[in-house]
Structure 1
Amino acid sequence: MNAKKSPARWLSPASGILFVLHLVLTLLNVGFNGLDTPLSHALAGAAALFFVLFIISERYHPQPLMPRHLRASLPLQISFWTGIFVTAVTCAAWFLLAVTMYQIYGFGGPGIILCFVTLLLMMVSGKAFGEKLGRNVTSASLLLWGFMIAACGLGVMAIMPAFGLVLLPGMLLTGFGAGIARQAAATERDQLTGDEYHYASRLGGWVRVSSALVMLALLTLLLKSNPGRQGIENGYSLLAALALAGVVTALMIPAKRKRNNVTVCQSDNGRFHRQE
């Protein structure tokens, strides 16, 4: 039977989705009900089973989600990891900020929305600053500085989230750095060529959504395991560590040649490639 028409070609995406789903449910159940429960054990076992199925399918299927010749591509790996760390300093940080405003400061919906608007404005400002500065500075340098600024902001908020004079500058730094990092990450992805660009675009969205779900579940676990201020500090510390991991990833980006004008074209087989 043709591999393209075989039901087995859906094994990788199905097992990958089910693995992430059960991993998220495991983290949430541990947070609310504890680790030593039958449901936690069952969900963790199912997550492990689907992970093994995903690995086996990617190893032996003739048409895996990620072609084997691209798995050692450093630019592609950096693109995926960068997407994960950018998600940490955006979506996850927003969630933790809402919890901080509600639990520590007692803000309701309007107050939380106002904080979100402030953070969004800083992200937009960071993105615009990154676009302007990107004309003279490499995207790798921008990515490095964006993650460093976000890590500083998250680190400040981890020190004393109940102190407003610390939380406000931390929030502003986090939003501004996240905006720069998002812009630089998108520029880095657009500089990929050939199949690397195709698979970075094709699988990058799935990687970001999956990482966002897992991070939100992990933050929920931390908040439930350590109620109050301690859990919030642990959450900000985790996000700051992920932002620092983004700094390390940015340092791994190899030096690029002078940027050329490129366009994205679609070949006869439906795959995208870039032409200079």
Structure 2
Amino acid sequence: MNASSREPAVRPRAALAVLAGAQFAVVLSTSIVNVALPAVRDGIGLSDGGMSWVVNAYGLAFGALLLPGGRAADLFGRRRVLLAGLALFSVAALTAGLATTPWLLLTARTVQGAGAAAVAPAALALVMQLFPPGPGRGRALAVWGAVSGAGGAAGVLLGGVLTESLGWPWVFHVSAAGAALVLGGTVLLVPPGSTPAPDLRRLDAGGAATAALGLTALVYGFTTAGRAGWGSAPVLLALGAVAVLLPVFLLLERRHPEPLLPRRLFATGPVATANLLMALLGSVWVGVFYFLPLYQQQVLGAGPLVAGLSQLPLAAANIAGSAIAPRLAARTGPATALAVGLLALAGGLLWLSRIAADGSFTADLLGPTLLTGLGLGIAFVRLTGAAVTGVPAADAGLAGGLVNTARQLGGALGLALLGSLAASATAGYAAHHSRTEALTEGYRTAFLAAALVIAAATALTPRLARRTAAAGPALRPAPPTAPTAPTAPTAPTGH
């Protein structure tokens, strides 16, 4: 019996469930700690400033290492990198839950973010491998979009339940257990396929290092600016580092025979425009999950559990939007479907900009969050598909890393800008109004700015359509009779 006969049978739906579980774990760990932060601060002795780094340490490592993680998946095997990332993620999450000192907790969160940076692009690349272009891929991306949106809302809900019932360490223990479960499922259900021989000479170490450092400095600068101000020394130093690292990165990319970001990735198809739109979508996505719980807790007086439960309609609408996205695209065309999703999202955000200081969930939040969630689901599925359309098979992991980087980077920068706008509006309103009225004005301003961002993104959808059309036959699905296409479910090359 040879090695290949011992591999698990190819069951694309079961493999998709496992890979979607990996994405769910990554997104869940971004939001599950939000509601638990005050309890974490009191339980482990963090300062108020240190409390924010429980979130930022994960986000910085995740965002900075996504591109190297995606490239490593292409060079060393996607399934292999996925398994390593899940193991690192699980051990780091367990360590965070067992931590008794701030430095250990923040170190564990950083390592957990590094593990997530390997998991997300490798899992997406494997999905693209298992499902060739066509209706099957559309349905797979719908599942991917549903779990991505549901993970954010589920994190807020689960964080509130666990913190109030079992204590804050369990928000990390649950993440560790979930990643371990997905790791076992990957071993059993995701076929190994052919894996490349590891070759460190092909890895653009200089490009990976400068990209990671540059993205870290950029995200740190924008994140810190919301708290310390744009003229503060840490922000100016971080942005100055970006100004130095960016040209160094471009120089290294031109000289390396296999650069981290090869030009061929952007040569055809809608990849560049799709990633720009994903960054704009990410800037709003993070803001929605940040400002909604704050409004409910600081203005409406809801507790952590109620604030978490209130995310369920948003999550349900997001799942519904992800489910209908492929059918909408089939009926109206991909560009029109994307425009519909973005317009629905902009409408929901504009509706949220009318929240009241004496409002309620039913009157002020239920309707707009349903519309917002529906638009988010449709737009995310369409943009994820566009960002990997026409990408050479050898670069699938990198394309997955790039679209995740765009969303993560857009989220960090967008939240910093929206947070600054909200803080300025609150400060200007506070002199002649109550605290809750001033806070509400800040949140209204943030939601209005987010609606304008998505309206601008909608204006770019015709360009995305032109780029897709210009790529021509290269982006069309292979005919059913094509022999053993590398992405066909019957002959995967799962790395």
What is the TM-score when the length of structure 1 is the normalising length?
0.80
Structure 1 residues 36 and 190, CA, compared in 2 at 3 Å: closer, same or farther? closer
Residues 30-68 of structure 1, C-alpha deviations (whole Å, 9 max, x = no match): 322233333333223223222332233334433322223
Pairing 1:204–2:403 present: yes
Query: Which residue in the other structure is 1:265 paired with?
Result: 486
Pairing 1:244–2:455 present: yes
Structure 1 residues 72 and 31, CA, compared in 2 at 3 Å: closer, same or farther? same
- Structure 1 residues not aligned, in runs of 5+: 267-271
Structure 1 residues 127 and 22, CA, compared in 2 at 3 Å: closer, same or farther? same
Query: Which residue in the other structure is 1:79 paired with?
Result: 274
Q: SS state of the match for residue 30, structure 1?
A: helix
Structure 1 residues 90 and 40, CA, compared in 2 at 3 Å: closer, same or farther? closer
Query: Which residue in the other structure is 2:297 paired with?
Result: 102
Pairing 1:169–2:391 present: no
Distance between the aligned counterparts of 2:348 and 2:383, measured in 1?
Answer: 19
Query: Which residue in the other structure is 1:269 paired with?
Result: none
Q: Alpha-carbon deviation of 1:175?
A: 0.6
In structure 2, give the amino acid aligned to 1:144: A
Q: SS state of the match for residue 106, structure 1?
A: coil
Pairing 1:229–2:428 present: no
Q: SS state of the match for residue 5, structure 1?
A: helix
Distance between the aligned counterparts of 1:190 and 1:50, measured in 2?
Answer: 27
Q: Alpha-carbon deviation of 1:119?
A: 0.6
Pairing 1:29–2:224 present: yes
**Greater shift in the superposed pair: 252-261 or 206-215:** 252-261
**Greater shift in the superposed pair: 219-228 or 10-19:** 219-228
Structure 1 residues 76 and 119, CA, compared in 2 at 3 Å: closer, same or farther? same
What are the within-5 Å matches in structure 2 for residues 151-190 of structure 1? 151-160=346-355, 162=357, 163-164=359-360, 165-189=363-387
In structure 2, give the amino acid aligned to 1:23: L
Asked whether the equivalents of residues 76 and 196 of structure 1 are also in contact (C-alpha less than 8 Å), the reply is: no
Q: Alpha-carbon deviation of 1:118?
A: 1.4
What are the within-5 Å matches in structure 2 for residues 41-190 of structure 1? 41-73=236-268, 75-160=270-355, 162=357, 163-164=359-360, 165-189=363-387
1:214 equivalent among 392, 395, 413: 413
Distance between the aligned counterparts of 1:202 and 1:31, measured in 2?
Answer: 26
**Greater shift in the superposed pair: 142-151 or 235-244:** 235-244
Asked whether the equivalents of residues 342 and 375 of structure 2 are also in contact (C-alpha less than 8 Å), the reply is: yes
Distance between the aligned counterparts of 2:227 and 2:216, measured in 1?
Answer: 17
- Structure 2 residues not aligned, in runs of 5+: 1-198, 427-438, 488-492
Distance between the aligned counterparts of 2:420 and 2:405, measured in 1?
Answer: 23
Pairing 1:5–2:201 present: yes
In structure 2, give the amino acid aligned to 1:140: A
Asked whether the equivalents of residues 268 and 390 of structure 2 are also in contact (C-alpha less than 8 Å), the reply is: no
Q: Alpha-carbon deviation of 1:86?
A: 3.1
Overall identity of the aligned pairs, in %: 23
Distance between the aligned counterparts of 2:283 and 2:229, measured in 1?
Answer: 25
In structure 1, give the amino acid aligned to 2:418: L
RMSD over aligned Cα atoms: 3.1
Which structure is larger by alpha-carbon Rg, 1 or 2?
A: 2
Asked whether the equivalents of residues 271 and 389 of structure 2 are also in contact (C-alpha less than 8 Å), the reply is: no
Distance between the aligned counterparts of 1:246 and 1:190, measured in 2?
Answer: 19
Distance between the aligned counterparts of 1:233 and 1:75, measured in 2?
Answer: 34
Distance between the aligned counterparts of 2:356 and 2:259, measured in 1?
Answer: 45
Distance between the aligned counterparts of 2:229 and 2:270, measured in 1?
Answer: 40
Q: Alpha-carbon deviation of 1:244?
A: 1.6
Distance between the aligned counterparts of 1:183 and 1:202, measured in 2?
Answer: 16
Distance between the aligned counterparts of 1:34 and 1:206, measured in 2?
Answer: 25
Structure 1 residues 38 and 180, CA, compared in 2 at 3 Å: closer, same or farther? closer
Q: Alpha-carbon deviation of 1:6?
A: 8.4
Asked whether the equivalents of residues 223 and 412 of structure 2 are also in contact (C-alpha less than 8 Å), the reply is: no
**Greater shift in the superposed pair: 120-129 or 250-259:** 250-259
Residues 228-265 of structure 1, C-alpha deviations (whole Å, 9 max, x = no match): 23332232123212212331222211264796457862
Asked whether the equivalents of residues 25 and 43 of structure 1 are also in contact (C-alpha less than 8 Å), the reply is: yes
Q: SS state of the match for residue 134, structure 1?
A: helix
Query: Which residue in the other structure is 2:137 paired with?
Result: none
Distance between the aligned counterparts of 2:344 and 2:386, measured in 1?
Answer: 18
- Count, aligned residues: 264
Distance between the aligned counterparts of 1:132 and 1:154, measured in 2?
Answer: 24
Structure 1 residues 195 and 33, CA, compared in 2 at 3 Å: closer, same or farther? same
**Greater shift in the superposed pair: 148-157 or 182-191:** 182-191
